[in-house]
Amino acid sequence: MSGPNSSQQAQPYSGQQAQYAQFQPQPNDSPIGAEAAAAAEEYHFPTHRLRAQQNPNRTPLVLVVCGSFSPITIMHLRMCEMASDWVRMVEDSYEVVGIYLSPVSDAYKKSNLAAAHHRIRMCQLAVQDTSNCVMVDPWEARQPRYVPTAQVLDHFRHEINKTLGGIESIESPERKQARVALLCGADLMHSMSTPGLWSPDDLDRILGGDGGLYVVERHGTDLEEAKEALSKWAEHISVIPQVVPIDLSSTKVRLFLHKKMSVRYFVPNPVIEYILENSLYGTTKEDQDTYVQLVNGKVAYSSDLS
């Protein structure tokens, strides 16, 4: 999340939300307006890993992870696993039936942001063989302008609860309305608690009603102040402890790539291969050749040369 922008102090709020504060949904039954609809041509909402509800006594829960994913890392994948474990082991009222990654559009204008089609593909490669419940929704990334997080969640609620009619159950032919909540890291929760950074209406749309927030804590980060600032929605916020701390970010991965250092085990191998094949983040053909040699075990070690 970007922080407050001092040049926008006249705005009622600033930072990420103020960048496109005038962007409002079109008067349409769907949150997709005419301009966005053009960009979403041939768009199909992914449902191939959306599970049927197993326990009819619970409310189906869909988690959405919004972010740049430039590039996606194993930490993004671990967040999904930690959230699934948390809901299954701690929260008796809900059942995770699907998790979506929603890459931000190019209009976000963040530095070192790879083009949307690259980030969509990297996310797809990251989850195709590593997960049975995580999907990538390209809708947000394909929009011609930045879409605030609240409107992204509106999109998911529309697709799941209106277009699909809810979640199937293994025990009943009737579909059940799902709760759609945001899954994020501690930094995003901190930004939400910062006065003036998010609009009150957006916060209520994200955290209130059938929404909610699942936050994976960061080791050494105190969330008590943030929880106090967001106490109005305390019942809709779940803080997930990171039992094994992983201090990894896309920023650090890009730094490693810039320094010609290995990012294996930080990023899924298919994503590394895609980065090198497309010369993303300053990588070159020489880097690709070196990676192939490492994978194939064709690197000459000093013991081989003696």
Selection from 67, 70, 146 nearest residue 105 by Cα: 146
For residue 270, what are its two tokens?
């298919």
What are the structural domains of the chain? Answer: 6-240 (3.40.50.620), 250-305 (no CATH)
pTM: 0.84
Which strand (E) or helix (H) includes residue 152?
helix 149-157
Question: Over 60: is that where the pLDDT of 215 sits?
Answer: yes
- Mean pLDDT over all residues of the chain? 85
Res. 74 pLDDT band, cuts 50 70 90: very high
| 3-class secondary structure, 39 | helix
- What pLDDT digit, counting tens, does each position of 245-282 carry? 888 999 999 999 999 999 999 999 999 999 999 999 99
**C-alpha to C-alpha distance for 50 and 207, rounded to whole angstroms:** 23
**C-alpha to C-alpha distance for 167 and 35, rounded to whole angstroms:** 29
What pLDDT is stored for residue 298 in this prediction?
56
Task: Pick 21 or 125 by higher pLDDT.
Answer: 125
Cis check for the bond before 71: say yes or no (omega within 30 of 0): yes
